[in-house]
Chain A
Amino acid sequence: MKRLTTFLLLAFIVKASAQTSGYQVGALVSDFSLKNTNNKTVALSDYPDAKGYIVAFTCNTCPVAKAYEERLIQLNSKYAPLGYPVIAINPNDPDVSAGDSFQAMQERAKSKQYAFAYLYDPGQEVTRQFGAERTPHIYLLQKTAKGNKVAYIGAIDNDPEEANPQRINYLENAIAALQKGKQPDVAFTKAVGCGVKFKK
């Protein structure tokens, strides 16, 4: 009976932590090279001192992404010096979402003084590789001897409206675990966000 319970519990965990496509927690990520808003390309390998990366699929237009924009800026200023820079990628197709054109991204990065890369993904290949489904959608990567490993997938916290007295900072907790040489207790979360606008 106990074994059955354990099995069911495990089955539940596996199911609850599944991504429908793209990278799962534990997967090794292929490096990519995408154009930043300053017209220079950016790859994960461009950060030799990084211990990991906060890869954030976010955009100009989604209200949820906008609600998290300031938090993303703060996360970068807090964690980039500790070895975990934010790398933002806009997953939306600009033909479907005009407000997410490269030019609009440049304007946004400038007006909000992004200190992190904000990358354009034409053809949405990197978006599909990751399996990003919504904005914002966070992938915390850990640099290991084998490569960059997905340590956490999901939301920054459980408080989009900044009104939840029981706020849990999922992403920061996951980084804290990595800093202690552990794996995050909560490695996968879901959150309401804007579906990625895929090319039609």
Chain B
Amino acid sequence: MKALFLSIVCYLCIAQLQAQQVSLLSADQLNERLKQGKDTVFVVNLWATWCVPCVKELPFFGRLQHAYPDNPLKILLISLDFRSKIKSEVEPFIKKMKLEQEVFVMNDVDQQTFIDKVDKQWSGSIPATLLVNTAKQQRKFIPNELTYEQLVDQYESIK
């Protein structure tokens, strides 16, 4: 009985841990979420653990969130790491970088489809950032690395 209880507790622990970890996201799911945004401004960063400029840029998104605590601002960090690297690379990386934002790994295998679905202007190069204000029907795609100041400017221009 005790063993059973322990195993249930363990199972719950694991489930809890997993809940805080990385989810998979398809481009369709992303677009659906952006569409439901109402007054929320989404800042979607496309990155990977292996991409040096992306790693440099990642903390800026946390900084942006803290700089606008009262704004309807949602940051989504979408990793393009291989799905087979979630446990070995992405999750330890999130821990190490203490990322507080929602992190996803792109779930579509066919890059031809998902790159265009995220944004027609995107060639697939990373880092890249997408800002979406559904209420104002505004959308901005930035196909390169941003400094913190540039990120703030981009956000200010669309919020």
Minimum C-beta distance from B92 to chain A (A): 17
Q: A190-B124, A195-B128, A197-B53 are in contact. Are A161 and B112 (CB under 8 A)?
A: no
Q: For the complex, would chain B's binding face be called helix, strand, loop or mixed by DSSP majority?
A: loop
Q: For the complex, would chain A's binding face be called helix, strand, loop or mixed by DSSP majority?
A: loop
- Interfacial chain A residues near B52, Cβ < 8 Å: 61, 97
Q: A20-B143, A192-B111 are in contact. Are A15 and B120 (CB under 8 A)?
A: yes
In the complex, the chain A residue whose C-beta lies closest to that of B127 is A195
Q: Are B50 and A133 within 8 A (Cβ)?
A: no
Q: A20-B123, A63-B50, A134-B124 are in contact. Are A190 and B116 (CB under 8 A)?
A: yes
Q: Which of B48, B111, B127, B144 is in CB contact (< 8 Å) with A190?
A: B111
Q: Are A133 and B111 within 8 A (Cβ)?
A: no
Minimum C-beta distance from A162 to chain B (A): 10
**Interface residues as binary, B60-94 with A (CB distance below 8 Å gives 1, 0 otherwise):** 00000000000000000000101010000000000
Q: Which of A15, A134, A161 is in CB contact (< 8 Å) with B123?
A: A134
Minimum C-beta distance from A99 to chain B (A): 9
Q: Does B115 contact A (CB under 8 A)?
A: yes
Q: A191-B124, A194-B126, A195-B127 are in contact. Are A164 and B53 (CB under 8 A)?
A: no
In the complex, the chain B residue whose C-beta lies closest to that of A155 is B111
Count A/B pairs, Cβ under 8 Å.
Answer: 65
Q: Does A156 contact B (CB under 8 A)?
A: no
Minimum C-beta distance from B13 to chain A (A): 31
Q: Which of A61, A133, A158 is in CB contact (< 8 Å) with B143?
A: A133
Q: A161-B84, A195-B128, A195-B145 are in contact. Are A190 and B122 (CB under 8 A)?
A: yes
Minimum C-beta distance from B49 to chain A (A): 9
In the complex, the chain A residue whose C-beta lies closest to that of B122 is A190
Q: Does B121 contact A (CB under 8 A)?
A: yes
Q: Does A193 contact B (CB under 8 A)?
A: yes
- Interfacial chain A residues near B121, Cβ < 8 Å: 20
Complex: how many Å from CA A75 to CA B90?
32
- Interfacial chain B residues near A20, Cβ < 8 Å: 121, 123, 143
Q: Are B82 and A161 within 8 A (Cβ)?
A: yes
Q: Does A189 contact B (CB under 8 A)?
A: yes
Give the contacts of A181-199 with B (CB-CB under 8 A).
Answer: 189-198
- Interfacial chain B residues near A9, Cβ < 8 Å: none
Minimum C-beta distance from A135 to chain B (A): 9
Minimum C-beta distance from A50 to chain B (A): 27
Complex: how many Å from CA A120 to CA B13?
53
Q: Are B125 and A189 within 8 A (Cβ)?
A: no
Complex: how many Å from CA A6 to CA B145?
38
Which of A158, A189, A192, A196 has the most B CB atoms < 10 Å from its CB? A192
- Interfacial chain B residues near A194, Cβ < 8 Å: 51, 125-126
Task: Give B contacts to A, CB under 8 Å.
Answer: 48, 50-53, 80, 82, 84, 109-112, 115-116, 120-128, 143-145
5 nearest CB pairs, A to B:
A134-B125, A195-B125, A63-B50, A190-B115, A133-B123
